[in-house]
Structure 1
């Protein structure tokens, strides 16, 4: 039997503001970490947190901040007293933590983690793109929806470098509801950007435009280096901006390059076969990727690529940030590009010129391709999430897009990546002649970092285990810049969808920042179902329970209170009206609680489309809406209590109790054990004698009836 020495291990999973490398820090960062011990009944009794500017400072214990031993069991959302005076915008910092347990043991310090203080004065004016020019030869017209960008050769001595980051964002792809560029340093893809903008930022008339910061330290080389980007945009604001910033060992920092006309730019219309035809859903249209290797610049992102014949980049004269916009750092993890190699990947051959690649699992993203061709040839490419009954790809997806594209290959090597965000598992090639190796075409997924080992579950039920794995992979595959209903159809956040996404994410991942960011977005940009707006209150409470961090509750308390005012107004929308002119902006609204009846008026989604409501009878006071309101008022009372708004807490709890009592007294039938659908205003004491299963379940899930508690 092996002899294992018991130990209190160094903390890990360090995060600031819920991010492993935060760059949105203002003056008061919130620190969190995980503790591990092999001692029974061990728990944290104290911690010591230190902050320093460079890694070498750690070796000499030259700390900018040292908390000393703080007697506390808290290891999430920890604040550092008096640290704010030492933090400066745009500067880089490291931090470490160690703990003592209740048994008297002291851990080692954690590995150091970085954070950057947000710089509100980034020198952003105009960005770069490729100006339209006359075509030559057999080129397609330069319509500018796709562009390749490369920096000049950048000479760097890595011996001087502590950390290097690229700050980047782009404009012009907003109509596509997707991030618009892949960013590279020396041929390595740092990630995808920039995150979706946020209208009505924190209840204002401003739009928050997000920038991302990417750690490039490990990919710099002594000597020459190149920053590159492949970007797409569809509006006349399309532009890309970035800076490569080096933080040096001596404590200084240097801006090595800024995207400007010293960069080179190549119009990608011919390379992507873009002649204006879009792949569309009802809500967006994105560039078709008809790759033409006669024009695609292979290895374009590497530092050795010769770009001397590329034109100089064009500076778009439109400002990157308009007067009614504000540039702010993104608040979750960056989306990365992951080359996917699934163990279940396989190739199915229908005929020598018709083969299907099953990637093994759903991919949200694109493809990385490395095909050897014996001849110049054209190939039809079909992609989709499902197979037809005959085993071929269903490329015309039920949600709208039709993934049919063509690749023009050249004799020899054909190496490229696609850019647009698609949903698919299967890739079918028609007309390809030659050997097709298993790794010739791989998924080029767009995902936030997702350590697979952070959440695990096993039971004696095979079905339950499969459901868990499906849920886990769903979150892994769909965690881009904001949780949405579907990346293939609407690409829009919904409170009801977030309730599912976030609760699933909490159980399979330690990344809480994306759920919080998505909720923050939806607080400012609610969707039309009136009951969905109430889900924001529940999600805010869950965010607090899972993170131990009350930041969102404090900053969004008033906005959450507004969610409870769901009386009909100019901002109310039933989802079907063709004459709606409201903005859906979160506003104070109208209180819909009827003191005389003890219930709320108005109604929620119930089911959608309306034809799916199975005969639900809508009245003035509707059972499912009131049941959800009972939960919302109860939860808002808890939030108010945590924030020490005691009068509010009492008020909300009283509302919840009143609604619960009247739901039972006026809408519950003791004889049948059913809740009726609704009450009318002219007969507030007599329920409409119709019961639909869904509202009854809503009510039973939210309240204690006379006989039992349904949870």
Structure 2
């Protein structure tokens, strides 16, 4: 695909209330993309495919004039081989507009009618000179009286600055490769506001969406200003779901680990303490959004502005049919039948993880007493969850205090957040595996993390590459989208859109857990590389970091021999984790003695040969 970077914008952003505020350089770019296919439908009617959906408009230049009007159709979805769906669904986008004339050698852009919901109120606004934009892949032109060869039409894509060459992935699994590319494109294409927004349905930042977006963005580019801008937004603009709010600390901690910059932690430390929801804690350490401590004053301190604002436990999205009124394909929504009680396991798993990360943050900021305080609280919460919310007879967790039901979410979150005692990991993991993909595309983030972190890489990878049924990423490709959907399919969420970056869990899971490449020390001074490449016979990856790019290749030479080639950038060392069952290992053609499970890799290229 030919792409031409047209210009670099310094834009004006708008606050969550729609009031204009000045910002310094949102780093948005416009890329002009040529068609991949132009199909003649009739003498004056043409179908154009740009290959992938982007947010933007089309730009048309003709070398001859046409005095008659043209009709332009833009859309994401087809309902025929060369026909844009004029009624694609509630939030799948389609717009038609008219161009009155074509003037020779003048470039024109049709005027698109804006959607009210994503251009008013709490939506992140675009400057007026950008005009209305929509996500689209396809274009149809009707009543074109001049030869198609006399016009040049391009997709005018708006996105945050993005280095397409900063990341790469390939493997012996073509389905996994396709899904990785789907997710990477989603990260680039959904960046059009300069913030991590939910998608085109609302264009509003939400913490849960933003955290997954952040991890996936970090996996494909080493540009961190968009994440930092979004994090700062949430300090004064929290959202109401309890678990969403509990992502705030996770986002700030991730920013620190990838950048090494402690300033955002310093500046927002007191607010991060509040966002743990520690004020809702009872004597045994557990929290509840039904706590009498959740006063209007506390809500105001958390950043909420309306007197009637309240927190509500969500446990995945969408919730049950009884909560939404929608005719859902699964009446329980994406909750796996979760029984929401006042003190529930999912919320308290997030709370524990907040305390664990706040221990690290306080330590980094040399707040020794606070670090010890959070460490003790985390220990108490972990003990209480495992004594009160774990069913010893079943061998896995119940949904909450007083519940007899056990949903996927009550077990995948403890696995993901290191809550499960070693002696119970096997039974909890088996229960999780028995539920399949009984969560949403958002919940899949923690399902994959919990599995990879607890030696279930083969099953986790099979979920990423699954092609059976429609509760998988392959279905997103099959329905015709080039970005991840808000839900597995519109039948699971009738108002879903086709451009939600919170569906990109496979991207960061492949990078951070399957290949196991994460910062071990802040700013990637030390990288952690812990491959779990179950089922693959070869794979390669390029991972962006603040220090440069980590390159890694793997080839299975036989069942008894694995070969890795790993390149570490300057100013970095890496700790490479060996499989527990290895017999012999050589590093750069030197046989190593002993049974250490870790290799230290200095900057440069290294060859690792592992025999079993």
For the aligned pair, the TM-score class normalised by the smaller chain equals: 0.5 to 0.7
Deviation of 1:567 after TM superposition, in Å, equals 6.2
1:620 aligns with 2:347: no
Separation (CA, whole Å) in 2 of partners of 1:520 and 1:369? 38
1:510 aligns with 2:226: no
Partners of 2:301 and 2:51 lie apart in 1 by: 42
| Matching residue within 156, 167, 174 for 1:462 | 174
Q: Unaligned stretches of 5+ in structure 2?
A: 1-5, 111-130, 282-287, 305-310, 322-332, 427-449, 454-612
Matched-pair contact (CA < 8 Å) for 2:34–2:153: no
- 1:446 and 2:158 are equivalent in the alignment: yes
Does residue 1:417 correspond to 2:139, yes or no?
no
The offset of 1:365, in angstroms, is 1.5
SS at match of 1:615: coil
For 2:27, the equivalent position in structure 1 comes to 334
- 1:162-561 equivalent positions in 2, closer than 5 A: 189-191=7-9, 193-197=11-15, 209-211=21-23, 329-330=24-25, 333-341=26-34, 345-372=36-63, 375-400=66-91, 402-410=94-102, 412-417=104-109, 419-437=131-149, 440-561=152-273
| Offset from partner CA, 1:512-535 (integer Å, 9 cap, x none) | 111111111112201111111111
Q: Secondary structure at the match of 2:156?
A: strand
Give the structure 2 partner of residue 695 of structure 1: 410
- Secondary structure, counterpart of 1:493 in structure 2: coil
Name the CA distance, whole Å, in 2 between partners of 1:432 and 1:581. Answer: 60
| C-alpha contact (below 8 Å) 1:336/1:448 kept by paired residues | yes
Looking at CA atoms only, which structure, 1 or 2, has the larger radius of gyration? 1
Out of 377, 387, 405, the position equivalent to 1:655 is 377
Does the CA contact (< 8 Å) of 1:374 and 1:411 recur in 2? Answer: yes
Using the TM superposition, give the Cα deviation of residue 507 of structure 1 relative to its aligned residue in structure 2, in angstroms: 0.9
Cα distance in 1, alignment partners of residues 87 and 198 from structure 2? 16
**Structure 2 residue 425 is the aligned partner of structure 1 residue 607:** no
Q: Measured at CA, do residues 482 and 375 of structure 1 come closer, stay the same or move farther in structure 2, by a change above 3 Å? A: closer
Partner of 1:88: none
CA distance in 1, matches of 2:76, 2:147: 25
CA shift, 1:399, in A, is: 4.5
- Runs (4 or more) in structure 1 with deviation over 6 Å come to 566-569, 580-584
Are the structure 2 counterparts of residues 190 and 452 from structure 1 closer, same or farther at C-alpha, using a change threshold of 3 Å? closer
- What TM-score comes out, normalization by structure 2 length? 0.56
The answer to whether the 8 A contact 1:373-1:433 is kept is no
Distance 1:630 1:361 in 2: 41
Q: State the TM-score, normalized to the length of structure 1.
A: 0.48
With over 3 angstroms needed to count, the CA separation of the structure-2 counterparts of 1:581 and 1:626, relative to structure 1, is closer
CA–CA separation in structure 2 for the residues paired with 1:564 and 1:208: 30
Q: Are 1:638 and 2:360 an aligned pair?
A: yes
Alpha-carbon distance in 1 for matches of 2:81, 2:298: 47
> C-alpha displacement at 1:688, in angstroms?
1.4
TM superposition shift of 1:359 = 0.6
CA distance in 2: counterparts of 1:379 and 1:573, whole angstroms: 56
Structure 2 SS opposite 1:708: helix
Report the alpha carbon displacement of residue 511 of structure 1 after superposing the two structures with TM: 0.5
For the 8 Å contact 1:537–1:632, the answer to whether it is kept is: yes
**Number of paired residues?**
372
Q: Distance in 2 between matches of 1:529 and 1:446?
A: 30
- Equivalent residue number for residue 704 of structure 1: 420
Q: How far does residue 479 in structure 1 lie from its aligned partner after superposition?
A: 2.0
Contact 1:396–1:403 (CA under 8 A) maintained in structure 2: no
Distance 2:22 2:275 in 1: 25
Structure 1 position 438, deviation (Å): 9.5
The separation in 2 between residues aligned to 1:522 and 1:476, in whole angstroms, is 21
Higher RCO (CA-CA < 8 Å; seq separation 6+)? 2
Shift of 1:348: 2.0
- CA-to-aligned-CA distance 1:562-589 (integer Å, 9 cap, x gap): 10227679xx999xxxxx9999765289
Contact 1:383 / 1:395 at 8 angstroms: preserved in 2?
no
Residues 581 and 350 (structure 1 numbering): CA distance in 2 closer, same or farther, change over 3 Å? farther
1:195-240 deviation digits (Å, cap 9, x = unpaired): 233679xxxxxx88224xxxxxxxxxxxxxxxxxxxxxxxxxxxxx
Cα distance, 1:414 vs structure 2? 4.7
* Between 447-456 and 639-648, the greater mean CA deviation after superposition: 447-456
Provide the aligned C-alpha RMSD in A. Answer: 3.2
- CA drift of 1:645 comes to 1.1
Cα distance in structure 2, aligned partners of 1:421 and 1:465: 30
Contact 2:77 2:85 in 1 (8 A): yes
Query: Aligned to 2:398, which of 658, 672, 676?
Result: 676
How far is 1:437 from its partner? 3.7
Structure with more of its chain in strand, by fraction: 1
2:148 counterpart SS class:
coil
* Residue-by-residue CA offset, 1:601-631 (whole Å, 9 max, x unaligned): 9734433234313432221210111111111
Compared with structure 1, are the counterparts of its residues 375 and 588 closer, same or farther at alpha carbon in structure 2 (3 Å cutoff)?
Answer: closer
Which SS does the other structure have where 2:22 is aligned?
strand
Shift of 1:439: 6.8
Mark the runs of 5 or more structure 1 residues left unpaired by the alignment: 1-187, 201-206, 212-328, 575-579, 590-600, 680-686
Corresponding residue of 1:133? none
Mapped to 2, the partners of 1:583 and 1:338 lie a distance apart of 45
Q: Deviations over 1:530-571 (max 9, x none)?
A: 1111111011111011001111111110111110227679xx
Note closer, same or farther for the CA distance 1:568–1:665 as it changes in structure 2 (3 Å cut).
Answer: closer
Counterpart secondary structure, 1:617: coil
Tell me the SS of whatever aligns to 1:458.
strand
Rounded to whole Å, the distance in 2 between the matches of 1:631 and 1:451 is 32
Deviations 1:344-370 (A, max 9, x none): x11122222322110111111122211
Q: Retained in 2: the 8 A contact 1:422–1:487?
A: no
